[in-house]
Amino acid sequence: MIRLKNEFKPLFEPFTFPGGASIDGRLVVAPMTHFGSHDDGTISKDEIDFITARSSEMGMVITACANVTPDGKAFEGQPSIARDEDIPGLKKLASAIQAKGTKAIIQIHHGGSQALPHLVPNGDVVAPSDVFKDGKQIARALKEEEITHIIDSFKEAARRAVQAGFDGVEIHGANGYLLQQFYSPHSNQRTDQWGGNEEKRLAFPIAVVDAVKEAIKEHAAKPFIFGYRLSPEEPETPGLTMTETFTLVDVLKTKSLDYLHISLMEIGSKARRGADSNKTRMELLKERCGDALPLIGVGSVITAEDALHAYNQGIPLIAVARELIVDPDWAKKIKEGREQEIETVIKRSQKDKYLIPEGLWSVMEASQGWVPMED
């Protein structure tokens, strides 16, 4: 019988978060949009099958982002955590992941200007500031009381996550969604307490962090994993650079988070602006965070060697997404010393074995090359 090779053993070493919770390994299922929930946002069997098929031998699973308010819905088939009626389905999802011996984390989210008009009440898309495209308004600026309501909705979402039995929650502050829209000088043109200078643009994301933290304190009876996902740079000018990200990280370091999840297409990509462009973003953020705030790295981790290389760069936790869509047994094969058998291309002729929700399959077919496929 082939066994886990010594060189890959570090990937399966236990890890304890600053808040006291532990996981059994360093590999993480990254949050993947699966387009598989029911139209009303409740959890479907398809998405449970998809996620649990990919949960074995992973330290923890971060679910697809769940919207905290009806006007934050940004995907067809997005799971909802906006109502108490969502809790029974969420409970099934958490239990199914945990049955694989893996910790279950739910990512909570608001799409802001990226919410889809046909999925939100009255097509009323909201954002920090008015958004126009081709001379047409596609999102309107949030009113003060609506901002307060969304902050409270993140808090309520965290309560529901605890009540549904999840082991933790991750705030989605990345990929151009609402929290990032507030912090970015590109998308936030407000002149009130929620915009203007850097500190005021930071007010909304930090208020969400504080609200979620409060919910965890009020409702969790045991250590509950609390993470935050961010995108370190934006392409626009003005836009977020590493300089603004360092400011954000410095504040998040004071908030008793368990981890920061750095959203990248390439885990080894180098900084563009606002820092030493000879260094990777992960290196720079590791220097900034020290050992106080653990990092999760993600982006084009395909092979066991890719994951090990990231770990050897000082990244304690490595998330995998696209490669797990292609090979659900990715971690299991590494654990069993069969890493040479890892598949890197989806075979259309074997569609059923992948347990991929129909909506995700359609997206993969439409965006050729995003996930490698062949007949």
Query: Any idea what the CATH number is for the domain that residue 316 is in?
Result: 3.20.20.70
pLDDT band for position 373 (cuts 50, 70, 90): very high
Is residue 352 in some structural domain?
A: no
d(CA 332, CA 57): 6
By three-state DSSP, how is residue 8 classified? helix
Is residue 355 in some structural domain?
A: no
Look up the pTM and report it: 0.98
**Residue numbers of the domain that contains 229:** 6-340
Q: How many domains does the chain have?
A: 1
Is residue 365 in some structural domain?
A: no
> Token pair of 111, please?
């799409």
Taking residues 54-64, report their average pLDDT.
Answer: 98
Q: Is the pLDDT of residue 182 over 90?
A: yes
Is residue 345 in some structural domain?
A: no
Is residue 353 in some structural domain?
A: no
pLDDT band for position 155 (cuts 50, 70, 90): very high
pLDDT band for position 135 (cuts 50, 70, 90): very high
Say if CB 27 and CB 54 are below 8 A apart: no
Is residue 11 in some structural domain?
A: yes
Is residue 26 in some structural domain?
A: yes
Is residue 234 in some structural domain?
A: yes
Helices (runs of H) and strands (runs of E) counted in the chain: 12, 16
Task: Provide the CA 21 distance to its chain's centre, in angstroms.
Answer: 19
- Nearest in space to 334 (alpha carbons), one of 58, 13, 4, 61: 4
Going across the sheet that includes 131-133, the strands are 126-127, 136-141, 131-133
List, by residue number, the catalytic residues.
Answer: 177
